[in-house]
Amino acid sequence: MGEVAKIRIEGKDLELPTIVGTENEKAVDISALRAQTGYITIDEGFVNTGSTQSAICFLDGEQGILRYRGYPIEELCEKCDFVEVSYLLMYGELPNAQQLEHFRSSLRRHTMLHEDMRMFYNGFPRDAHPMAILSSVVGALSTFYQDSLDPKNPQEVEMSIFRLMAKLPTIAALSHKKSIGQPFMYPKNSLEYVENFLYMMFAVPSEDYQLDSDFVEALNLLFIVHADHEQNCSTSTVRMVGSSDANLFASISAGICALWGPLHGGANQACVEMLEAIKADGGNSKKYIDMAKDKKSGFRLMGFGHRVYKNYDPRATIIKRTCDKLLKKLKIKDPIFDIAQELEQAALSDPYFIERKLYPNVDFYSGIIYRAMGFPVEMFTVLFALGRLPGWIAHWREMQMSPSKKIARPRQIYNGPAKRSFIPLHERK
């Protein structure tokens, strides 16, 4: 028998069981609270509320630890490529050689889009944001693949996972080609996952395309560090939509929309735009640090702070190192990298940021690498989505397979007007 939490409400005593996770994280199980006391709990933004138990990702925000299925993120970045990590997240174990080859070839087989789906792109305006295109086209997959939509049928789920993983890079690259008016490149299935994506993004039919191995390595690493982060806003969205038994494509399309916001994945675009604005304003970092501290300014340092990390985000450490290495190798002197490092130094020694435990997060340096590789700023959040896809799928699948799955349906405390008499139109002031 573990610890028991006791509460006393309206003279009644109630004992609530506790749950302890693998890494000693502790929770009070309140599932009997309302039935026994009539009370619910309120926790705006779910700051203290666990929505589920999950075996996919562990993070310790105080110590800056991140592990996928028990493996430290640093080790996975060093020893795996993105496809291998995707398998680990979705299926729970590292694949053996045969399983990995089967997974890779299944992903290769489904990279093309239905020709009618390619026609969708004609209907989007040239300046459409690629995140809007991404979520629309992913949602539309459920119109083309009606043979694999049943979340309770394991074969259908498997098929829709392969289709989604294989097609997302194609969908993303086409949205970029559309925005710059270049011909769409069909996928080349002799290439690996990340290589194929770079090819569809940057190749043109009239020229040979040389893949850059440094870009391939950096993008694999960036996708791995973005691949999962337990119950973040977009993953919780995917789970919530999926909890109604909506199909995988519909659930992921909703997750893409949640990721787009600048407080979540959209921060990578917002961060580079902020750094550019600081550069254009003479590179005065102090002015922007002061603005971020002034609540009335409405300005936040983008790429800084995190709901869970109260220490340096381990993903930011890996990305900063990669950024430094890549820029040196490419002999690029990017002034916004210097501004970013200056801002970081200034913030890390400023009492406002120290007291609130605000550190650079995953979005602070990633945009600088994407830029060096030639990605336009609007594509940055799309790159986050490509990386996060296996995590979303893993959570959706874990939820669907859970015997305790329930539709997600939070409660509320109503604080609007009490019952009142209807006022006819002619009597209203």
Q: Which of 150, 378 has the CB closer to ligand CMC?
A: 378
Q: Which residue is nearest to ligand CMC (CB)?
A: 305
Q: Which is nearer to ligand CMC, 358 or 369 (CB)?
A: 358
Which residue number, 26 or 352, has a Cβ lying nearer to ligand CMC? 352
Those residues whose C-beta lies under 8 Å from the C-beta of residue 27, and which sit 6 or more positions away, are 18, 19, 20, 21, 50
Select from 90-98, 262-270, 321-329, 411-419 the region that touches ligand CMC (CB under 6 A): 262-270
Nearest to 289 by CA among 354, 350, 335, 338: 350
- Residue 304 binds ligand CMC, judged by CB under 6 A: yes
Region of 61-69, 161-169, 354-362, 403-411 interacting with ligand CMC (CB under 6 A): 354-362
- The set of catalytic residues is 306, 363
Q: Which of 263, 277, 332, 401 binds ligand CMC (CB under 6 A)?
A: 263
Among residues 34, 102, 356, 406, which is the contact residue for ligand CMC, using CB under 6 A? 356
Q: Is residue 171 within 8 Å of 137, Cβ to Cβ? A: yes
Structure token pair of residue 368: 């600088």
CB of 283 to ligand CMC, least distance (A): 19
Backbone angles phi, psi at 18, to 5 degrees: -115, 160
Distance CA 223, CA 197 (A): 12
Binding map of ligand CMC across residues 103-142, x = CB under 6 A, - = no contact: ----------------------------------------
- Position 285 contacts ligand CMC (CB under 6 A): no
**Cβ-contact 130, 382 below 8 angstroms:** yes
Kindly provide the b/e burial profile for residues 150-171, where b requires at least 16 CB atoms within 10 angstroms of the residue's own CB. ebeeeebbebbbbbbbbbbbbb
Among 195, 228, 363, 398, binds ligand CMC (CB under 6 A): 363
Q: What is the DSSP letter of 57?
A: E
State yes or no: residue 307 binds ligand CMC (CB under 6 A).
yes
In whole angstroms, what is the distance from residue 326 CA to residue 340 CA? 16
Q: Is there binding between residue 171 and ligand CMC (CB under 6 A)?
A: no
Backbone angles phi, psi at 81, to 5 degrees: -100, 175
Point out which span in 3-11, 106-114, 264-272, 319-327 binds ligand CMC (CB under 6 A): 264-272
**Binding to ligand CMC by residue 68, rule CB under 6 A?**
no
**Can you read off the two tokens belonging to residue 395?**
């959570």
358 near ligand CMC, judged by CB under 6 A: yes
Q: Are 248 and 157 in contact (CB under 8 A)?
A: yes
Stretch that binds ligand CMC, among 1-9, 11-19, 193-201, 301-309 (CB under 6 A): 301-309
Q: Identify the burial level of 88 via C-beta atoms within 10 angstroms of its C-beta, where 0-12 means exposed, 13-18 middle and 19 or more buried.
A: buried
Q: How far is it, in rounded angstroms, from Cα 228 to Cα 60?
A: 14
Q: Which is nearer to ligand CMC, 113 or 225 (CB)?
A: 225
Q: Using CB under 6 A, which of the segments 164-172, 238-246, 359-367, 390-398 binds ligand CMC?
A: 359-367
* Site of interaction with ligand CMC (CB under 6 A): 45, 232, 263-265, 267, 292, 300-307, 356, 358, 361-363
